[in-house]
Structure formats: structure tokens, C-alpha cells
Structure 1
Amino acid sequence: MDTVELIIGLLVVIALAGVGAVVGLVRPRRRRGSLPPRPGARAATGPGEDPLPGVGDDAEVPRDSPSRAVDVLDLPEGPLVERPAPALGRLVRLRERLSRSNSALGQGLLALLSRDTLDEATWEEVEETLLLADVGFGPTTEIVDALRERVKVLGTREPALLREMLREELLRAVGTDVDRTLRTTRHADRPAVIMVVGVNGTGKTTTVGKLARVLVAEDKDVVLGAADTFRAAAAEQLATWGDRVGVPTVRSDKDGADPASVAFDAVKQGIDDEVDVVIVDTAGRLQNKVGLMDELGKVKRVVERHGPVDEVLLVLDATTGQNGLRQAAVFSEVVDVTGIVLTKLDGTAKGGIVVAVQRSLDVPVKLIGLGEGPDDLAPFDPEAFVDALLS
């Protein structure tokens, strides 16, 4: 038994020696912060700080040092407010678009007048071209008679001279001595008030929104009144236009609310906020003329408790031609229209509607719409318009 115990004891000793050797070969891993400093490196100045690598004062910040936080910018709450393009020069910018859509009028007339022989048949074609462009019978007769007389007296076929004569006659028909100024100047104690009327579908509410952009571009403070309470989407649409340029919209919480009450509240807010202009959008239903008269007449009377309405703008769709003239006649009986807004003028070859509507209502065209863009509403410039027709 002694021999067996001795052998077992020797095996235990050998085993323990082997374990110790293995343990001696395996060293514990050091933490990054416990590495010994490199020669010439600065020592850590406080507990938990790592020494900077490098030499002396030229040492660089290690890559694993805490990163600098990104600065957080304070963004404005709510939707971003746009800055509309200046209204000045818009018609010049859009002249090419206008000339493309109305080439049938200007270029057609120039082609007829440039023929070698201006016989009776040619003059009838000139007359027909003007009538098809919705110039109207009266103005057409005046233009043709004047051109015939001038061509007869001068006896010329020179294209440049014929073009100048046509330009002068068209300008005379359109009118260059008419006051087309929008009355948007604030009064001493209240804002200027603009009522916008017209049949639904002509772009009336959109025109109100675009007009607000024109005025904001002129640094005017504006309030919108959503008095078209019978069309559910009208107030929402108008508010969206206003929000884009930072203009408040007065509206009713209930569909079918009294339009006159909404218009009154809009002007009152304009007075309280001391704004420059209040624009009131009105309903454009034409089921019967009596109902329209009653509604618009009431809106105008209620608004005028604050003071006279400065502008009543009638919005007409230029593509409707003579039908638009009939609509204009109805509205002119209801309210005292002071200016015309012709929309969709770029989508028709009937630019002569400018002449016809002015002649029938004895009211000037003050604004024209030349596209779907938010800044495609421009002050009407007779010379730029006629030049676009003849370009």
C-alpha cells in the first residue's frame, strides 16, 4: 500500500506542476486605460482620464475620444412661408406663353394684310378672324374700317408698316388711357376691401389666393375672407393659399353659414389687425339671378357697414367666349363691378375677349391669368398684351 500511495502522490505533484505552468503562460488582459504611458507622453491629470498620445504639446486628440455634438437648429413651427415673386414684369415674363396661344389672331391678321391684293374677300377674312377671336361685332367693325381707310390712303403693302398700323388699331380697341390701377391703398382707419365675384369654375377662389400673393409681394398685409360658404372645399382651399404666404383666413366652422357674416368678420379682423387689404371670396352660384342678387347684395351691404368696398373684381374664364360675356352682364346688374380678371388666357386663341368684355361692361380688365402656377396672375398691360399677339 505504501508503494501505491507514493505513486499516487507523485502523480498529483506532477499534475499540479503542469497546471501552474499553463497558468503562468496566460496573462490577464489590460484595460485600455491601464496601458503604460509612452515615452514623452503627458500623464493623465485626473482619475479616469487617458493620456494623450504623441509628444509634448503637439499631441493630437485620439480617434476614440468623445465626438463633438452636432449643433441643433431651432426650426420655425408650422408650415414654411413662401416669398412670392414680384408682380412687376410678370406679363413680360409670360409673353412667350401668351403669344403661342394667341398666334391665330395676330399672325393671322398680319398674313391677310400682307397679301398682294386686299380685295373685298380679304377684308371679309380679316373681319372673320377678329370675330372668331371674340373681339365682338362692334369693335371688329371699327378696326376693319380704320385699317381699310389707312391702307387705302397710304397705298402700302410693306409688312413692317402694316404691322404697326394693326398694332395701333388693336391698342385703340383695347384701350391705353383706361385706369387699371387696383385700389389697394389702406385708408386712415381701415383696410382697403376687395370683393371677388364670379361663377364657380372660373378660377375665382384660386384667383383670390393668387391676388393675395401679388399683394404680399408688394409688402402689404392681407386678410382673406372665405365667404363662399356653400362650397365645402372653398374655405379649405383659400386657407391653404393663405398659409403658403403667411396670410390669415377668416372662415366659418359650419358649412352653409351666412356669407355676409363671414365677410363682416373678415373686415373686422382686418381693422383690428391694422392690415392693408381684406379680400373677400364670394359664392358663385348662378341657379337663378334673383338669388344671386340677394346674396351678393347682402354681402356688399353688410361689409359696407365698415366703409365702402374699394374694388369689386369679376373673374371670367377667357375660354368661355360669349358665354362669359353673358355671365358678366348678370354680375354687373348685381354689384358695381370695378374691374375684370380674365383667367386661362393662355389656353385660348380668343384673346379678343379682352376687347369685348371691356366694351360690353365699360369696365377695364385689370388682371389676367396666364397659367396654373401660383405666380401666374399679372397686372394687365395693354401694350405688352398686343405685342404678344403680334410677336
Structure 2
Amino acid sequence: MTDSGPKSWWKRLSGGLQRTATSLGTSISDLVTKRKLDAAAIEDLENELIRADLGVDTAMKIASVLGEGRFEKSVTPDEVKAVLAAEIEKPLAGVAKPLEISAKPFVILVIGVNGSGKTTTIGKLATKFRAQGKSVLLAAGDTFRAAAIDQLKIWAERSGATIMAREPGSDAASLAFDAVTAAKNGGTEVVLIDTAGRLQNRSELMDELHKIVRVIKKVDPAAPHAVLLVLDATVGQNALSQVEVFGKTAGVTGLVMTKLDGTARGGILVAIAAKFGLPVHFIGVGEGIDDLSDFSARDFARAIVGLET
């Protein structure tokens, strides 16, 4: 993977968040070009922010900042957007944290519901780590789906990572145990473990997740060193309940938000940050390898309201 540089990433980020930015930007322009930003306009703007899934608390805070008197006059859409970006950045600044590889092997358990982009995210992360010169082992722990195993094999080949896979239907916990053992014995630096996509209301699948964590700890009591929950931005409010349930059952340590390019409600990441305070390590704005990148609070906040960096 080539280093595409900050300008190229900004272009992809702002392009990926365009649906959200267009939706918010149109609402802001409609509000402030037709009238002063009075109490009624502030309330309308608050409703638009809630519709963009920014969360009621965040929307109210932003509305209250805008309503502090200094905007009781004609303002430009960009002035309002600048205030929005500054307020959106606040809850995000505390959660924008890179994933630190702090052990060897560094074991990353990747979880989430079906269709969230888990397996693709693992492939992209493997490619990133390989580009940094790290040795990577992929464990195809989504043993329910033959397609997921095949997909991970392709990513392994593409990225130069090693892969451990079994027949579909094999015991995922046993595979995870063997993968971490092999990594420990072989000096591998990063282990990425895929898991079956599970709905947060399926208790037997959650039990399997507990089992995977339990057996990994038999090899290394400190592992998994990271439990990444992959969230699909297009599910909107449902992502909040996923964070809540997976957080309780699997000890989520950080988040990856994918498919931000497929929704006008990218604000859900702001609502999640404000409510849970979990680190956001990566965001995805497209299918390409370079479309998954470290999360930057300022860049995201400006892109989501349609401002230049």
C-alpha cells in the first residue's frame, strides 16, 4: 500500500461523507439564507442535527451555543458550519486514538454483526500492518460462513499475511487458541481474529464469543489486547445498541466505523462518541484499501458539515 498523503485522504474523507455533508449543508443554507438565526431557526436546526443522527444531547448543546445571542442577526452558512464543526469536534477529540501495538504477539479480536464489513476491515488492517513491516497472522474464525473464510484467504494472499483456517463449521475457539499459540511460538507480531457475525440478541453466539476470549487467555492472560467492534454507519441508531450490548458481553476496547460513504447519517459516530467515550481507531469511507484510515476528530468534524480542511 502506498502512502497516499493527507491531501488524498482528505479528498476521500470529504467525498465519503458527502451525503451527510450535503444533507446537513442544505438544511443550514435553507435556514440561514432565508431568515435570521432566531429561536425558531435554532430549533429547526436542532431538529436537522437530530435527523442526521448526531444525538439529542449533542444537537441540544450545539443549538444552545448557536443561540447565545451573538447569532441574533444575519449569518452566513459557513459561519454556522464553523460553529457546528467546532462543537462536533469536542466529543470526538477525546476518542480519536490510534491503535497502539504494545505486545508481541498483539492479539486483535474483531467482532460485529453480519454485514458490518468485519472481514474486509481485517483485510485492510492486515495490509496496513504489513506495509509497516509487521508480520501478521489472520485467523479465519468466522467458521459459519465459507465465503468469509475464502475472503480472508484472498486478503492474506494480497497483503502477504499468514492465514490459519479450518473447514466451515469448525470450532472457532479452538482455531483462535491455535492461532495465538502459533503466533507466540513463531514470533508473529500481530494476530487478527475474525469472528462470526452475530446479532446482539443471540445469546448462544455471545456465549461463543466468551469462549473464544477465555481460550485466548489460556495462551496469553493479557490477550486479546484489543477487541475491535466494527460498526456499519448505514444502520444509524441501531449502532448505539450494538455498542452497548457488545461492550457488556465482549469488553470492546475500540471502534471501527465503516460505510460512512453509504449514508446521510454519518453523525451517528458523534452520538456514539458522546454516549460511550470508546476509542475510535479507524473509519472507512469506501471499498478500497486506502479508504480505511486512522480517525481524526478535526478532519471528520469539518468534512461532516462540508467545510474544507
How high is the TM-score relative to the length of structure 2? Answer: 0.90
Q: Partner of 1:230: helix, strand, or coil?
A: coil
The verdict on how the C-alpha distance between 1:115 and 1:214 changes in structure 2, with shifts beyond 3 A counting, is farther
Query: Equivalent residue for 1:346?
Result: 261
- Is 1:283 equivalent to 2:196 in the alignment? yes
Q: 2 CA distance for matches of 1:329 and 1:304? A: 23
Change (3 A) 1:115 1:176: farther
Q: 82, 104, 124: which is aligned to 1:164?
A: 82
Q: Which has the larger radius of gyration?
A: 1
1:323 maps onto 2:238 in alignment: yes
Residue 99 (structure 1) shift: 4.2
Aligned to 1:301: 214
Correspondence 1:99-110 to 2 at 5 A: 99-102=17-20, 103-109=22-28
Please state whether the residue corresponding to 1:257 is helix, strand or coil: coil
Deviation at 1:155, TM superposition (A): 5.0
Give the letter for the 2:251 counterpart.
Answer: D
2-side partners of 1:274 and 1:88: how far apart?
31
- Return 284-293 or 118-127, whichever deviates more: 284-293
Cross-structure match for 2:93: 176
Q: How many angstroms apart in 1 are the aligned matches of 2:85 and 2:41?
A: 19
Of 118, 133, 141 in structure 1, the residue corresponding to residue 37 of structure 2 is 118
CA distance in 2, matches of 1:171, 1:287: 29
Runs of 4+ in 1 over 3 A off after TM superposition: 86-91, 113-116, 153-158, 160-163
What per-residue deviation string (whole Å, max 9, x for no partner) do you get for residues 232-291 of structure 1? 211111111011111111111x32111111111111221222122111001112284321
Aligned residue for 2:98, secondary structure, equals coil
- Name the SS for the 1:91 alignment partner: helix
> Any idea what the Cα deviations from partners look like across 1:139-186, whole Å, max 9, x if unmatched?
21122112212xx0465544354333222112113x21335120223x
Note if contact 2:50-2:59 (Cα within 8 Å) is conserved in structure 1. Answer: yes
Q: Pick from 108, 124, 140: which aligns with 1:210? A: 124
One-letter amino acid matched to 2:48: T
Q: Which of residues 42, 62, 73 is equivalent to 1:143?
A: 62
Distance in 2 (CA, whole Å) between partners of 1:87 and 1:267 is: 32
Higher relative contact order (CA 8 A, sep 6+): 2
Q: Distance in 2 between matches of 1:208 and 1:240?
A: 12
Task: Single out whichever of 85-94 and 352-361 deviates more from structure 2.
Answer: 85-94
CA distance in 2 between partners of 1:104 and 1:194 (Å): 36
> CA deviation digits over 1:171-228, x for unaligned, max 9?
113x21335120223x2xx311111000011111111111111211222111111111
- Are 2:7 and 1:92 aligned? no
Structure 1 Cα separation of the partners of residues 193 and 168 of structure 2: 17
1:367 corresponds, among 282, 285, 297, to 282
Specify the SS of the correspondent of 1:368. Answer: strand
**Where in structure 1 are there 5+ consecutive unaligned residues?**
1-83
Shift of 1:123: 1.6
Measured at CA, do residues 220 and 106 of structure 1 come closer, stay the same or move farther in structure 2, by a change above 3 Å?
A: farther
| Aligned residue type for 2:140 | A
State the SS of the aligned residue for 1:94.
helix
Aligned to 1:195: 109
Distance 1:215 1:129, change over 3 A: same
Q: What residue in structure 2 maps to residue 311 of structure 1? A: 226
Partners of 2:14 and 2:85 lie apart in 1 by 17
Q: Deviations over 1:15-44 (max 9, x none)?
A: xxxxxxxxxxxxxxxxxxxxxxxxxxxxxx
**1:127 corresponding residue in structure 2:** 46
Q: Is the 8 A contact 2:38 2:67 kept in 1?
A: no
Which residue matches 1:3?
none
Identity of aligned residues (%): 41
Indicate the residue corresponding to 1:49 in structure 2.
none
Q: Which runs of 5+ in 2 are unaligned?
A: none
Matched AA of 1:311: A
Q: Which among 287, 295, 299 is matched to residue 380 of structure 1?
A: 295
How many residues get paired?
Answer: 301
